[in-house]
Amino acid sequence: MFIHVVSPGESLFGIASSYGVTVSSIMQVNELPSPSQIVPGLALVIPSVVLFHIVRPGESLWSIAQMYAISADELAAANSIDSGAYIYPGDVLRIPQKVRPVIEVNAYIYMLGQQAAPIVRDAGRYLTYLSPFAYLIREDGNLQPIEDVPAIQAAISVGAVPMMSITNFTSTARGENLASVVLNSPQIIESLLNNIVRIMRQKGYRGLNIDFENVLPADRVAYNNFLETAVSRLHREGYFVSTALAPKISTEQAGLLYEAHDYEAHGRIADFVVLMTYEWGWRGGPPQAISPINEMRRVLDYAVTLIPKNKILLGFQIYARDWLVPHMRGQEAETFSNQEAVRRAIRYGAVIQFDPVSQSPFFRYVDEQGRGHEVWFEDARSAQAKFDLVKEYDLRGISYWALGYPFPQNWALLDDNFIITKL
Beta strands in 297-396 (DSSP E): 312-317, 320-325, 334-336, 353-355, 360-366, 372-376
CA 315 to chain centre: 5
**221 in the same domain as 248:** yes
**pLDDT of amino acid 67:** 80
Distance CA 82, CA 70 (A): 16
| 230-241 pLDDT per residue, tens | 999 999 999 999
**140 in the same domain as 28:** no
Distance CA 287, CA 114 (A): 33
Provide the b/e sequence for 103-139 (b: ≥16 CB within 10 Å).
Answer: bbbbbbbbebeeebbebbbebbebbbbbbbbbbbbbe
Which of 53, 72, 94 is at the close of a domain? 94
User: Measured in Å, how far apart are the chain's first and last C-alpha atoms?
Assistant: 26
**57 in the same domain as 34:** yes
The DSSP output letter for 95 is: P
Is residue 247 predicted with pLDDT exceeding 90?
Answer: yes
The DSSP output letter for 391 is: H
Domain limits at 332?
A: 102-420
Pick the residue with more confidence: 50 or 3? Answer: 3
**Arithmetic mean of pLDDT, 285-308:** 98
**347 in the same domain as 285:** yes
**Arithmetic mean of pLDDT, 221-248:** 98
**376 in the same domain as 337:** yes
**Arithmetic mean of pLDDT, 332-356:** 97
* Side-chain-side CA neighbours of residue 104 (13 Å): 19
Distance CA 345, CA 7 (A): 15
| 78-117 pLDDT per residue, tens | 898 988 888 999 999 988 877 899 999 999 999 999 999 9
Q: What percent of the chain has pLDDT over 90?
A: 88
| 165-194 pLDDT per residue, tens | 999 999 889 999 999 999 999 999 999 999
**Arithmetic mean of pLDDT, 50-63:** 86
Which of 94, 127, 157 is at the close of a domain? 94
**255 in the same domain as 317:** yes
**pLDDT of amino acid 95:** 85
**pLDDT of amino acid 83:** 83
**217 in the same domain as 268:** yes
Q: Which residues are catalytic?
A: 213
**pLDDT of amino acid 50:** 61
Which of 42, 74, 94 is at the close of a domain? 94
**pLDDT of amino acid 339:** 97
Query: For residue 49, what pLDDT band results from cuts at 50, 70 and 90?
Result: low
Interacting residues of 80 by C-beta distance below 8 A, sequence separation 6+: none
The DSSP output letter for 203 is: H
**pLDDT of amino acid 219:** 98
| 270-279 pLDDT per residue, tens | 999 999 999 9
Number of domains, the chain: 2
**Arithmetic mean of pLDDT, 327-355:** 97
CA 251 to chain centre: 24
Question: Do 275 and 303 meet the contact criterion of CB atoms below 8 Å apart?
Answer: yes
| 129-149 pLDDT per residue, tens | 999 999 999 999 999 999 999
For residue 78, the tally of other CB atoms under 10 A from its CB is 14
- Give the helix/strand (H/E) hosting 154: helix 149-157
CA-wise closest residue to 293 among 285, 304, 301: 301
Distance CA 196, CA 234 (A): 9
| 10-46 pLDDT per residue, tens | 999 999 988 888 999 999 999 998 999 899 999 999 9
CA-wise closest residue to 352 among 378, 372, 327, 326: 378
Bridge partners (DSSP) listed for residue 33: none
In angstroms, what CA-CA distances link 383 with 11, 105, 129, 146, 315?
Answer: 24, 14, 19, 31, 12
Query: For residue 54, what pLDDT band results from cuts at 50, 70 and 90?
Result: confident
At 420 the three-state DSSP class reads strand
State the alpha helices, DSSP H only, in 164-250.
Answer: 176-183, 186-203, 220-236
Across all residues in the chain, what is the average pLDDT? 95
**184 in the same domain as 124:** yes
At 263 the three-state DSSP class reads helix
DSSP class per residue in 207-230: EEEEE--S--GGGHHHHHHHHHHH
**pLDDT of amino acid 85:** 87
Pick the residue with more confidence: 309 or 73? Answer: 309
At 90 the three-state DSSP class reads coil
Q: Does this model's pTM top 0.95? A: no
Distance CA 238, CA 229 (A): 14
**259 in the same domain as 228:** yes
Query: For residue 121, what pLDDT band results from cuts at 50, 70 and 90?
Result: very high
Distance CA 124, CA 131 (A): 11
CATH number of the domain where residue 246 is located? 3.20.20.80
Is residue 70 predicted with pLDDT exceeding 90?
Answer: no
**191 in the same domain as 66:** no
**pLDDT of amino acid 180:** 98
CATH number of the domain where residue 48 is located? 3.10.350.10
**pLDDT of amino acid 234:** 98
**pLDDT of amino acid 287:** 98
**212 in the same domain as 144:** yes
Tell me the residue type at 320. Answer: A
**213 in the same domain as 73:** no
